[in-house]
Amino acid sequence: MQNGKAITNVKQWENERRPELLSLFAEHVYGKSRPDGKKLPYKITSVNKNALGGTATRKEVTLYLSEDRSKTLNILIYLPNNTGKKPVPMFMGLNFAGNQAIHPDTGITITKNWTRFENQPGFVNGIAGEGSRGFYASRWAVELIISRGYGLATMYYGDLQADRKDIDSLPESFHAWYYKDKKIKAGDNPWGAIGIWAWGLSRALDYLEEDPDVDAKRVAVVGHSRLGKSALWAAAQDQRFAMAISNNSGEGGAAITRRKFGETIKIINTSFPHWFGARFKEYADKENDLPVDFHEMMALIAPRPLYVASASEDLWADPKGEYLSAYHAGPVFQLYGLKTFTNPQPPAIEQPIQAGIIGYHIRKGKHDITKYDWERYVDFADQQLKAVKPKK
Ligand code: GTR
């Protein structure tokens, strides 16, 4: 505890230290989240039972975020057709460039919201066109996920809050409509974009709880990089997520910030001042004053399965710091009688390791999420979420 009291059992952890850590992360890192009391209204806008060559059912669901229904979160869902039993376990994660970018499937609705991909192929001034279909298909192993008996739910993070520094000066800012709708004040330390993206993951999980095809008790939340930070913060706060996967989440995600290796608090708040709560900036070059470090966020996932992955060339995200975070979360998993990593040295490249319900690997190559990473996540989920084996 902050007062020096040692935590020696699960009850103390759950009743005392866990809530204390959650409020410390909100206060000093991400800003204060505003959990919602009631589920948002939604509409199923399309269902195609013959997607991906007949192997999958594709569903699109619109969640109405604002009361005037002008702000929406659009959920793209693929469900495997070849599984004997429903409901199915799921992977869920936010995507960077719109739902249409995760697969060339022409049935996916193209996002109308601004993206960061200014004039890259398929985008004009950040607005996605037909040419953006499948832009990030390499990051989503849709066929693998489906063939192994899992569903996938993904949403464009820009539906929630645009990823740009000037967002709070724009009328479409989340903060502009949210506090008005809720008739509350923003307060002195409102959540940054990561907190908002994490909130969106929980709202999408609210929907999955209503969907009879989905087993909402077996949802693994996954994210790459800034969306890995968001996935971790979502899973830390929302214990309905059955498992958390951090892919190259780095600073403000899995990496131990006190190592000051690669990206630091000062750098991240300079490049992305809108990601965190205001107080995180106070710890620029003062990492040791921060009352938390990120192994404590990994500990907030316990006793649920946690998988952390790094990439060998992704030094910016500090692979060793990401591993150490999973390692130093150990004492909390041990309170639950679970095994934890015993070696403070990370494993060799592409030699995945696992202790109890904690997994880790370092992939060869750059900052990315690839088929190699997904193969590990699906294998891990096979053990931890006990996927229904697809019928041959
Ligand atoms: C980088 C940023 C990282 C990471 C990454 C990403 O520019 O420094 O913290 O979030 O972007 O999201 O790909």
pLDDT tens digits, one per residue of 60-100: 999 999 999 999 999 999 999 987 778 999 999 999 999 99
Residues 240 and 205: beta-carbon distance below 8 Å? yes
**Considering only CA atoms, which of 265, 53, 72 is closest in space to residue 159?**
72
Residue 312 scores a pLDDT above 50: yes
Q: Ligand 1, residue 263: give the atom nearest the CA.
A: 8
200 token code pair: 């969106």
Ligand 1 pocket check: which of 136, 225, 246, 265 to mutate, most ligand atoms within 8 Å of Cβ? 225
Q: Which residues have any ligand 1 atom within 6 Å of their CB? A: 225-226, 250-251, 263, 268, 271
State in Å: Cα 226 to ligand 1 middle. Answer: 6
Ligand 1 pocket check: which of 272, 274, 369 to mutate, most ligand atoms within 8 Å of Cβ? 272
Level-2 CATH architecture, domain 10-384: 3-Layer(aba) Sandwich (3.40)
pLDDT tens digits, one per residue of 177-196 = 999 998 888 888 889 999 99
Q: Ligand 1, residue 367: give the atom nearest the CA.
A: 13
Q: Which of 49-58, 102-111, 170-179 has the lowest mean pLDDT?
A: 170-179
Residue 386 scores a pLDDT above 80: no
**Considering only CA atoms, which of 201, 267, 258 is closest in space to residue 233?**
201
pLDDT at position 36: 74
**Considering only CA atoms, which of 162, 161, 160, 98 is closest in space to residue 130?**
98
pLDDT tens digits, one per residue of 247-298 = 999 999 999 999 999 999 999 999 999 999 999 999 999 999 999 999 999 9
State in Å: Cα 213 to ligand 1 middle. Answer: 34
State in Å: Cα 270 to ligand 1 middle. Answer: 12
pLDDT at position 242: 97
State in Å: Cα 266 to ligand 1 middle. Answer: 14
Ligand 1 pocket check: which of 194, 224, 226 to mutate, most ligand atoms within 8 Å of Cβ? 226
Q: Ligand 1, residue 248: give the atom nearest the CA.
A: 4
pLDDT at position 188: 82
Residue whose CA lies nearest to ligand 1 atom number 10 = 226
Residues 97 and 135: beta-carbon distance below 8 Å? yes
Cβ-count burial of 285 within 10 angstroms (0-12 exposed, 13-18 middle, 19+ buried)?
exposed
State in Å: Cα 45 to ligand 1 middle. Answer: 33
pLDDT at position 392: 42
State in Å: Cα 225 to ligand 1 middle. Answer: 6
pLDDT at position 389: 57
Q: Quick one: average pLDDT of 354-379?
A: 98
Ligand 1 pocket check: which of 227, 232, 263 to mutate, most ligand atoms within 8 Å of Cβ? 263
Q: What is the DSSP string of 110-140?
A: PP-S--S-TTSTTEETTEE-GGGTTTTGGG-
**Considering only CA atoms, which of 172, 79, 95 is closest in space to residue 133?**
95
Counting every residue written for the chain, the total comes to: 392
Give every strand in the sheet of 151-156, ordered side by side.
Answer: 42-51, 56-64, 72-80, 151-156, 88-95, 214-224, 243-247, 306-311, 358-363, 353-355
Cβ-count burial of 267 within 10 angstroms (0-12 exposed, 13-18 middle, 19+ buried)?
middle
Predicted structure pTM score: 0.97
Domain extents for the chain?
10-384
Q: Catalytic site residues? A: 225, 367
Q: Quick one: average pLDDT of 48-59?
A: 98
State in Å: Cα 268 to ligand 1 middle. Answer: 8
Residue 134 scores a pLDDT above 60: yes
* CA dist., res. 220 & res. 238, Å (int): 12
Q: Under 8 Å CB-to-CB from 158, ≥6 apart: which residues?
A: 98, 111, 113, 114, 115
Max Cα–Cα distance, the chain, nearest Å: 59
Give the other-Cβ count within 10 Å of 8's Cβ.
9
Q: Quick one: average pLDDT of 13-17?
A: 98
Q: Ligand 1, residue 229: give the atom nearest the CA.
A: 10
Q: Ligand 1, residue 250: give the atom nearest the CA.
A: 9
pLDDT tens digits, one per residue of 114-126 = 999 999 999 999 9
Query: Tell me, what amino acid is at 299?
Result: A
User: How far, in Å, are 217, 219, 279 from residue 26 at the CA level?
Assistant: 25, 24, 10
pLDDT at position 387: 61
Place of tokens 């989240």: 33
State in Å: Cα 145 to ligand 1 middle. Answer: 25
